[in-house]
Amino acid sequence: MRERTLLEQKITAVREVEAALADHVDLIALGEEDGDDQIVADSETALEDLRRQTDKMQLQSLLSGEADGNDAFLEVHAGSGGTEAQDWAEMLLRMYTRWAEKRGCKVSLLEQSEGEEAGIKSTTIRIDGPQAYGWLKTENGVHRLVRISPFDSNARRHTSFASVAVSPVVDDSIEIAIDEKDLRIDTYRASGKGGQHVNKTDSAVRITHIPSGIVAACQSERSQHQNRDHAMTMLRARMYEQELERREAEKMAAHGEKSDIGWGHQIRSYVLHPYQMVKDLRTGYENTQADKVLDGDLDGFLEASLAHGLQQKDGQTG
């Protein structure tokens, strides 16, 4: 049903563009025939808007990868730097949550480790919505913040880092083979806000896949059994993401290029002082309205990443 709804939306959008194009072409012809320059000008403006809309639709058509239509798990981990970095991690969590809510996606908090004074050490959320993973998959990497620290009494400028990892929610159509003997399952007491039952029982679950070192944890549910199920779902998603990264790396290596996928790769800088600028270091796309970006206005960056991927593919084809 989800695939059918998505296809219907795409077909409807194309038909609306075709109808609008035909209408404005006819209006321009009538305006020129009647000598009405205003009608011609209005229709030309509408056609320019239509061109931008179809450019965006072309980018969206690139979301045709194996898992691009899936929901997404998104993790944020604070880098070194204590409270400053933990506050930055919480800012990133808010940014992605706001972006998802603006798109009508459902956001669920699965696991979170609170900072000692402020912010968070790490968090995992699930984003359910059309092509959530396809849009967010290029957000993997290190995000850098430069600002006057609100935690520094001397008001000095600080640089903070946090890493983001995105993996697709794996549905039943994708089989991930996991040997139970390769798993180590630990239970522990949930931390942070959660009510008396959550904080007084060892309901949180952490699962480690020993051969790969991949770890998944969940503490959002009251039941240890439910948390284990969620953690297993995340583990399968991360193992699948690792396989997708391996395939992408092999593909890039075949063309003699290095892949940008992986941990430790700085992808974006957010500068709040002495000027405001958010710049993607891969695509060169930038936005001087940093406050809006941190409030979830990410579409420009995500679209630029898709366009960048298209240019790379065209270059390889050439």
Highest mean pLDDT: which range of 89-98, 172-181, 263-272, 303-312: 89-98
Output the pLDDT for position 294: 97
Mean pLDDT across 10-22? 93
Output the pLDDT for position 309: 66
Cβ–Cβ under 8 Å, residues 144 and 278? no
Mean pLDDT check: name the lowest of 56-60, 97-101, 146-150, 286-290: 56-60
Per-residue confidence band for 67, with pLDDT thresholds at 50, 70 and 90: confident
Per-residue confidence band for 24, with pLDDT thresholds at 50, 70 and 90: very high
Q: Is the pLDDT of residue 69 over 50?
A: yes
Output the pLDDT for position 191: 67
d(CA 125, CA 167): 11
Which CATH class name applies to 180-250? alpha beta
Q: Is the pLDDT of residue 194 over 60?
A: no
Per-residue confidence band for 160, with pLDDT thresholds at 50, 70 and 90: very high
What are the start-end ranges of the H helices in the chain?
2-34, 37-60, 83-102, 132-136, 195-200, 224-254, 290-294, 299-317
Q: Could you tell me which of 299, 298, 297, 291 has the C-alpha nearest to residue 272? A: 291
Better-predicted residue by pLDDT, 112 or 6: 112
Mean pLDDT across 85-97? 96
Percent of the chain exceeding pLDDT 90 equals 49
The neighbour count for residue 33, using CB atoms within 10 Å, is: 8
- Topology of domain 72-173+260-317 in CATH is Alpha-Beta Plaits (3.30.70)
Per-residue confidence band for 172, with pLDDT thresholds at 50, 70 and 90: low
Per-residue confidence band for 58, with pLDDT thresholds at 50, 70 and 90: confident
